[in-house]
Amino acid sequence: MNSRNKKNYDVIVIGAGAAGMTAAISAARQGAKVALLEHMEQAGKKILATGNGKCNFTNRVQGLECYRGQDPAFVLPVLEQFGLESTLDFFREIGIFPKEKRGGYFYPASGQASCVRQALVQELLFRKVDCYYGVGLRSIKKEKDRFWYDTKEGEYQSRICIIATGGKAAKKTGSDGSGFKYITEFGHHLTAIVPALVQMQGKQSFLKELAGIRADSVLSLYIDEKLICKEPGELQLTEFGLSGIPAFQVSRYALLALHAGQRVYASIDFAPEQSHKELEAYVTGWQKRRGGCLVGSCLPGLVNQKLIPVLLKEAGLKHNTALHSCGSKDVRRLVTCIKGLHVDIIGSKSFDQAQACAGGVDTSQLNPKTMESKLVRGLYFAGEVVDIDGACGGYNLQWAWSSGWVAGFHGGSK
C-alpha cells in the first residue's frame, strides 16, 4: 500500500482473529463498508491451533457456568442475539458442516481447523471486506466523530471502530497484548489479566515422583481456605504441577487469586467413586484378612502404583509398616490423603503456553446489548480482549463468534 494512502470506511475492525473476522462479516452484511487491519501476515492464525488442529468451535451445552469474568452474566444478552443455533447456522451457511462429538462438542466435519479459517476468509472476500495484513498500527484517535488510524503504511479513518485484538495467550499467533494500549488510551479500565486454561505450578517436591500419572479424579480448588470449584476428569500430574482438563478449568481462578496475593491450594480426590467411609472399610477389611502384609499392599488396585509411596509418606506411614500395626487414625489419615492430596499452587506456565487469558476490558464500561463502549461512542469490542473467558469445550470460540457478531451487527447498522 502507498505510504500516503488515506482510506475511508464505515467500520474498521482491528484484529483478524475469530472475533474480528466475525465482526467484519457481520458489519459487511449490514451494508457497511468494512476494513480489517491485522498486524500478522495472515488472518486467524490461532484458529489453526484450536482443538488440537480440529477446532472445537462451540458446544451444545450452553449456560452461565460456561463463561467466566467479573460479571459472567454480561454474556447473556450477547448469546441471546447470537447463540449456539445462530452460530451453527452461520457456519453451515459459509460451508462448515458442524459435527457433534462427545456429547456436545462441535467440530467441523472435516476435522480440520484450517477449513474454519478458510471459510471465514472466503466470506470476508465475498462480502468485499478490505483485509490489510502486516499492518503496523501506531495509534487510534477519535476526532470529529471519526476514528483515525495511524499505521506505518498510511492512514485510515472510520465512523466505527471495533477492537478485537485478543488477549495475551499464545502470542506467536498474533495476540501479543499490543491492543490493550489503544484501549487504555480511550480511558477504558482493564481488569487483571492472567493466563487461563493453563498448567498450574505446584509447590510440593513429590510432584517430581508423580510426573506422568494420568488419573480420573476430582480436583477441588481452595482460595484462602474456601472451596471455589470442583472439577472432575483426567488429571495429569507433571514435574511442574497439575495439567489436564480439570487443572485447566480451575486455573483462571487460581491465577487471579495468586495475582491478588491470596493463598491457593488444590485437593485431589484419587478415588472419587468411593466415600471416606467406604475406603476406610476397604482398608480395615484388608487389615483383617491380610494383616501381615505391608500397608501399601491394599492400594494398587485402587490408585496408580506410582502414587502409593507418596500417599503413604503424606499420611505419615512408613512403606514397610505392616497393615496390622496401623491404628484407626493411621487408616483415616491414609484415606484422607487418597481423597484429598494437598498441592499448594504457586504459579502457572506462561501466557505463551496458555489457551486463553482471563481479564481484559472491564464489562461494566460496555453495553452488553451491543458491545459498544459506554465511554466512547462508536467504539466496540469483541472476543478475548474483553473480560470474559470460557471453560474448555468450545466456549472461548463461542464467545468470539457471538461478541464479534453482535459488535459487527450494531456497529455496521449505525
Ligand X SMILES: Cc1cc2nc3c(=O)[nH]c(=O)nc-3n(C[C@H](O)[C@H](O)[C@H](O)COP(=O)(O)OP(=O)(O)OC[C@H]3O[C@@H](n4cnc5c(N)ncnc54)[C@H](O)[C@@H]3O)c2cc1C
Query: Residues 11, 14, 221, 250: which binds ligand X (CB under 6 A)?
Result: 14
Cell triple for 5: 494512502
Q: Is 39 in the site for ligand X (CB under 6 A)?
A: yes
User: In the chain, count of helices (H) and strands (E)?
Assistant: 12, 20
Q: Does the protein bind ligand X through residue 50 (CB under 6 A)?
A: yes
Pick the closest to residue 12 from 3, 24, 2 (CA basis).
Answer: 24
Binding mask 125-164 for ligand X (x = CB under 6 A): ----------x-x--------------------------x
Q: List the interface residues with ligand X, window 322-361 (CB under 6 A).
A: 355-356
Nearer residue to ligand X within complex by CB, 7 or 313: 7
Which of 47, 295 has the CB closer to ligand X? 47
Sheet of 58-59: strand order equals 58-59, 105-108, 98-101
Cell 494398587 sits at which residue? Answer: 300
| DSSP secondary structure letter of residue 4 | T
Q: How far is the CB of 391 from ligand X (least distance, A)?
A: 9
Which residue stretches of 224-306 are H helix? 245-259, 276-290
Measured from the CB atom, the residue of 28 and 55 that comes closer to ligand X is 55
List residues bridging with 66 in a β-sheet.
none
Distances, alpha carbon 408 to alpha carbons 18, 34, 113, 150, 163, in Å: 13, 10, 23, 22, 11
Tell me the CA distances in angstroms from 1 to 4, 139, 152, 158, 414, one per residue in order: 9, 18, 10, 18, 28
Of 175 and 336, the one with the shorter C-beta distance to ligand X is 175
The C-alpha atoms of residue 315 and residue 191 are separated, in whole angstroms, by 41
**Residues in contact with 308: Cβ distance below 8 Å, sequence separation at least 6, in sequence order:** 296, 299, 300
Q: How far is the CB of 385 from ligand X (least distance, A)?
A: 6
18 lines the binding site for ligand X (CB under 6 A): yes
Residue number, 236 or 355, with CB nearest to ligand X: 355
- Interface with ligand X includes 15 (CB under 6 A)? yes
- Determine if 397 is a binding residue for ligand X (CB under 6 A): yes
CB 272, min distance to ligand X, A: 26
Per-residue binding string, ligand X, 366-385, x by CB under 6 A, is -----------------xx-
Minimum distance from residue 56 beta carbon to ligand X (Å): 4
Residue 400 in contact with ligand X, rule: CB under 6 A? yes
Whole-angstrom Cα distance, residue 312 to residue 292?
17
By CB under 6 A, which span of 87-95, 167-175, 241-249, 276-284 interacts with ligand X? 167-175
> Is residue 396 at the binding interface for ligand X, with CB under 6 A as the rule?
yes
Size of the site for ligand X (CB under 6 A): 37
Cα separation, 195 vs 352, whole angstroms: 9
Among 11, 12, 13, 16, binds ligand X (CB under 6 A): 16
In eight-state DSSP terms, residue 356 is E
Smallest distance from ligand X to CB 76, Å: 18
The rounded distance, in Å, linking the Cα atoms of 60 and 66 is 11
Residues at the site binding ligand X, with contacts judged by CB under 6 A: 14-20, 37-40, 46, 49-51, 55-56, 135, 137, 164-166, 169-170, 174-175, 178-179, 355-356, 383-384, 394-397, 400
